[in-house]
Amino acid sequence: MVLRRDAHRLAGHEGADGEDKRRPGAGAAHQGKERRTPPGLALAPPREHAVDGFQTIVFEKDAGLAWVTLNRPHVLNAINLQMRDELWEAAHAALYDPDVGVVVFRGAGDKAFSAGADISEFGTAPSYVEARRARQQRDLWALLHEFPKPLVAAIHGFALGAGVELPLFCDLRIAAEDARLGLPEVNLGYIPSAGGTQTMPRTVPRGVAMHLVLTGEPLSAQEALRWGLVHRVVPRSELYAEAERLARLLLERPPAVLRLAKAALRHGPDLPLDEALRLDGRLARRLLADADARRSLAARLAGEG
């Protein structure tokens, strides 16, 4: 959840009185048409196919990869309801597309992966019943949690609130040196509501998660690396190349192995050890019954022989 305002304050856009010091109208998430071309992505290679119809994200496919770009840079890629729905649509499309093996998330512009939920929409939600129904029909976080294909997050600048909760559902997180990651909802009198209170302590030590949630203070990229919140830190100019390198490394692995390995890692740690070991055995037996996995194993063994 949250924190476009916190990102503006940290970036020096907001004065002590809370007034936005950027150009007039820059913070109005709901005004005007969303920009389609993400600035700051000149270093990224052109993609072979872009899917039209989205206004808040860019969805591109390139030789097995799906690139999903959060594309509201004028508001630090704040996640509004439309973006959440479009992220769900993109993830759903990638899930059922046999030509997509790995999904990479990134943010447009130079300042942020995402500053979190768009606070300009607070208080404008439909009734509680309608909101619950919409979330059940298009639950982005549940979809990402159970996503069988590898998910990669390429993080730069601010990743706050929902802007860090989304990467927490990803399997690999690469950060640029300028990244700042945090859960500052407490500053708005709220708690993380996109899974952060549950996914963060499953990712970093409990004490670190407590500090992030209770104080709202962000971590630098190096601090995030030290505590396991990100897996690698690279110069900003190398971020997308490194994300693509890791994604293509995953594409070389048997899909069935990746799918079942993710299932074991996702569900096993929440089980008693004896049950987790039985789960491990069941998944291993399923691999032995998978024709593609058997062929891959035989080919690798033959190559080493």
pLDDT value at 73 more than 50 = yes
Active site residues: 165, 185
Are 124 and 16 within one domain?
yes
Are 74 and 139 within one domain?
yes
Those residues with Cβ within 8 angstroms of residue 169's Cβ, 6 or more apart along the chain or in another chain: 141, 144, 145, 147, 151, 195, 199
Are 195 and 292 within one domain?
no
pLDDT at residue 134, rounded to an integer: 56
> Does residue 58 sit in helix, strand or coil?
strand
pLDDT at residue 135, rounded to an integer: 56
Are 143 and 239 within one domain?
yes
Are 209 and 287 within one domain?
no
For the segment 4-27, what is each residue's pLDDT rounded down to a tens digit?
A: 444 444 444 443 334 444 333 333
> Does residue 55 sit in helix, strand or coil?
coil
Are 276 and 215 within one domain?
no
Domain span at residue 122? 4-251
CA 182 to chain centre: 14
Q: How confident is the model at residue 50 (pLDDT cuts 50, 70, 90)?
A: low
CATH number for 78:
3.90.226.10
φ, ψ of residue 47 in degrees (nearest 5): -100, 155
Q: How many domains does the chain have?
A: 2
Are 225 and 297 within one domain?
no
